[in-house]
Structure 1
Amino acid sequence: MTSDNVPKPRYQEHPRMFADEPGRFILACLLVPFVIGIVWLLVWYVKTKCTLLTVGDERVLLTRGVFNKERLEIELESIRTVRIDQTFVDRIFNCGILKIYTAGDNPELVQGGMPDPERLRSALRV
């Protein structure tokens, strides 16, 4: 199978650094002259780029981790509830906190800073 035959995911994004936590981002930028901010931003950037949420035709896949990988896979059929929480700042920057419930009262998957929550919500509708 060639790469041309691979279906394009409905949604595939990394969390946003600044939009997820603008206060923390500004604090890190203020600490740049003391080198602590550079290290903080670099570590945060790498962690953000090593987190990927993919919604395909059959499942949701969340991959996290730099050295140790965590992969959480949920079948779309087993999703009971999708919740996207947005603070006022999240609404300004068009991002939100994704919570997916499959069974029980606790979310199976929680990921903050996900861009374009309306597109994400529509991708999760079966």
Structure 2
Amino acid sequence: MSAREPAIDARPAMFRNHPFGFILSVLLIPAFGLGLLILLWWYLQTRSVRLRIDADQVHLERGLLSKSHVDLDIGQIRTVKVDQSFFDRIFRVGRIAVYTTGDNPEFRVNGIPDPNRVREYVRGRREGVA
């Protein structure tokens, strides 16, 4: 891995995050193309969120036309909370909340593939920084 290449580069998953919604959308395609509109909107939603983690930084980028960025030093992160339902565990996706100080998370991201990998990576890097 090069110095510029992020260790983790993830976007929310479509099918794995909501498999039943995906199947329903495909079934609705014959209904005046409603399923295609739903899938297009859903695809744009997943492409508008990007979580990148490199050696010392966590970057969250939201938006397609307007952008919002959150950058955190791994040493500042106190907790990475992972929530997974039964179906999330089957499809290996989950919700991540990143806390620095206080009771409110700095950000939350839904539908991230393999969220425990993110939590373990941040934990390992944070211990290396401290």
TM-score (norm 2): 0.86
Find out whether 1:23 has 2:24 as its counterpart: no
In structure 2, stretches of 5+ residues that fail to align are none
Which of 88, 107, 110 aligns to 2:108? It is 110
Match of 2:30 in 1: 33
Partner residue of 2:46? 48
Contact 1:97 1:110 in 2 (8 A): yes
Q: What is the one-letter code of the residue matched to 1:37?
A: G
Structure 1 segments of 4+ aligned residues over 6 angstroms from their partners: none
* Partner deviation per Cα, 1:98-120 (whole Å, 9 max, x = no partner): 01111111111100111112321
- Whole-Å Cα distance in 2 between the matches of residues 57 and 69 of structure 1? 23
Distance, in Å, in 1 between the alignment partners of 2:56 and 2:88 is 28
What code does the residue aligned with 1:103 have? T
- Secondary structure, counterpart of 2:96 in structure 1: strand
Q: Structure 1 5/97 Cα, relative in aligned 2: closer, same or farther at 3 Å?
A: closer
| TM-score under structure 1 length normalisation | 0.88
SS, match of residue 103 in structure 1: coil
Give a deviation string over 1:45-78, Cα, whole Å, max 9, x none.
Answer: 1221231100111111111111111111111111
Unaligned runs of 5+ in 1: none
Determine the C-alpha separation between the residues in 2 that align with 1:108 and 1:55.
15
User: Which residue of 55, 68, 71 corresponds with 1:70?
Assistant: 68
1:86 positional shift: 0.6
Residues 63-102 of structure 1 correspond to what in structure 2 (within 5 A)? 63-102=61-100
SS of 2:108's partner is: strand
Length, aligned pairs only: 123
Distance 1:97-1:31 versus aligned 2 partners, 3 A rule: same
Code of the residue aligned with 2:84 in structure 1: it is Q
